[in-house]
Structure 1
């Protein structure tokens, strides 16, 4: 299983793998933007042997000028992953509460950190329960892992690179937030409403529904309709790089493993009042 790189695993397949002598490492990354803490959900019931890993404190750096969910410090990430039992080249499966966003950010973070054999449980914890598979409240005692974090295995956009991609004649920067936020009509979280000039709006529900992804051909059609060309650069951003990580996962499924994540996303962009902001339904505002 060390060579497993497919992004998704279904509950039944995962259950079969967990019954083997050397099963995948399970990470429970349930999280909600406005709470309550995912650890409460974990305590109420989780997959057997799953270890809870907090997205805010273990998989991301502290919020600030780089955004609400910036890249983690590599040494801190390595320590957190080792504490959770992540081993070098050993399969990892991440899951969340079903919408697939936190799990996608965990998937992306491990891939960015150089750990290739990581998959997302398709449909998350609800899909596991719906399949009639076992749940426990017993906390595991993982053997410490030996994974080494080597940052940079997936492409990342900083603010300047995101601006260049959005303004380029070839290439597409996707804004995957809800359309009213893109248009600048409302902004429930960050201090400024609008979008990066030149970015194209493709709200997440147009390529993923209830945490489940359509077939690769369908994804390719939806991204193409948004202006994503097969041989041109593509990147994605959202409010703080969580929903956009799910977009990058969808792009991987559509055959675009070169898709870049603007990790800081809108929360970083508007932290600098000198950066331009567009409003309205079109990329240029």
Structure 2
């Protein structure tokens, strides 16, 4: 009996030893894997970066929020913008929950030339963003990864940094928060009355009441383009709207909203009315909550005023009529009509709208990209978090499409929503000789006397 118990105890001891040995081996393997992953991420000095950042074997990547890359001075960096030649891949994109997220991010890596064969320098200003992207890339098999604090580069005035010429047209959430808190941040130092506007379709209970940026008052998109036609309201109606909203020529207006496209549409109409300083929250309400701020549900009301302080419309050249679009098309050496609809809309495969069945395109217009889905998408112009896409990539896309930015660009879509957003991005990039053909395809095709084309356009 004693012998059997001894054998049983020895057997149990051997089994436990094997279990602990296996666990130890697995723990060691995991530790080695973690150490191997960490070992691939090195810190690069400013001197080393200066020597290599222009090399084809190196790729410099800005991992901060999109606005910092565009030009805003954020997180204690002494100069706004990005290291000259750097591409963007924001750590913020990794937090977004969206269908086909992995596919979208893989496409971004490919487009930006962030490939496994290169030395990848990931920089930030908070010590967190670069590490987050480094971890992400490590899991995808990237080996030669470096992290860098861009504050060091920005502190040396002799080192080149770049920014969009008019980056201030689209505003980061942190700057909007400072404005709401009564501060006068970068580019708002000389602003008079600053008003926050929430733009969305429907009355307050449709979207606004569910949550909006604090202090913002609601603007129903139907007020700028009344149903059932949903074409831009006439100047008299817009003048009345300006009174209702208490707008003044010298106001600074920041437009926000859950649907960023609506915000850009309303912002452009306000510019047309004559408000001299109109901007948009880059990324809309999602950017606000992503920054850690809360939306409010309080109903804020504008204070009406009869004194706009100028003529309405104060910026009539911003919007083209059908007659002006036709005149422009007769002068292709100076004018480009950019069609910001989907490819299927452009070739006449579908109309893009449930309330409009006419299909085709305006002869002479050039396909200028929009979304990969339906008429509510703008994938080719946005990052995964709905912020503005890299301006250099937009420029390259236009170049490949045959859009000459040295000419006057008139952007159009179905009725003006998509094109208004694209036009604002063009402004942020520094293009000022631009306009919106606001009636778009719907306005054009409603008149049977206007010519229409379908099918794939002939190559120029």
- Shorter-chain TM range is 0.7 to 0.9
Secondary structure at 1:281's aligned position in 2?
coil
Contact 2:255 2:278 in 1 (8 A): yes
Counterpart of 1:233? 408
Secondary structure at 2:197's aligned position in 1?
strand
Contact 2:255 2:266 in 1 (8 A): yes
For each residue in 1:191-224, what CA deviation from the matched residue of structure 2 results, as whole angstroms up to 9, or x when unmatched? Answer: 2111001111122232234532123333332223
Q: Which runs of 5+ in 1 are unaligned?
A: none
Q: CA deviation at 1:265?
A: 0.6
Matched, 1:111 2:275: no
Flag as ranges the 4+ runs of structure 1 deviating above 6 A: none
Highest CA radius of gyration, 1 or 2?
Answer: 2
Q: Equivalences for 1:163-242 in 2 at 5 Å? A: 163-166=326-329, 168-170=331-333, 171-189=335-353, 190-204=356-370, 205-209=379-383, 211-242=386-417
TM (normalized to structure 1)? 0.85
Q: CA deviation at 1:90?
A: 1.9
TM (normalized to structure 2)? 0.54
| Distance (whole Å) between structure 1 residues aligned to residue 262 and residue 325 of structure 2 | 22
Q: Which runs of 5+ in 2 are unaligned?
A: 1-165, 184-191, 371-378
Q: CA deviation at 1:93?
A: 0.6
Q: CA deviation at 1:37?
A: 6.0
Query: Which is richer in helix?
Result: 2
Number of aligned positions between the proteins: 272
Contact 2:366 2:403 in 1 (8 A): no
| Distance (whole Å) between structure 2 residues aligned to residue 6 and residue 95 of structure 1 | 15
Contact 1:198 1:284 in 2 (8 A): no
| Distance (whole Å) between structure 1 residues aligned to residue 331 and residue 302 of structure 2 | 47
Higher relative contact order (CA 8 A, sep 6+): 1
Counterpart of 1:26? 196
Q: 1:141 to 1:180 in 2, by over 3 A?
A: closer
Q: CA deviation at 1:69?
A: 2.0
Q: CA deviation at 1:123?
A: 0.6
Secondary structure at 2:168's aligned position in 1?
coil
| Distance (whole Å) between structure 2 residues aligned to residue 23 and residue 161 of structure 1 | 34
For each residue in 1:93-121, what CA deviation from the matched residue of structure 2 results, as whole angstroms up to 9, or x when unmatched? Answer: 101214x2111111111111111111000
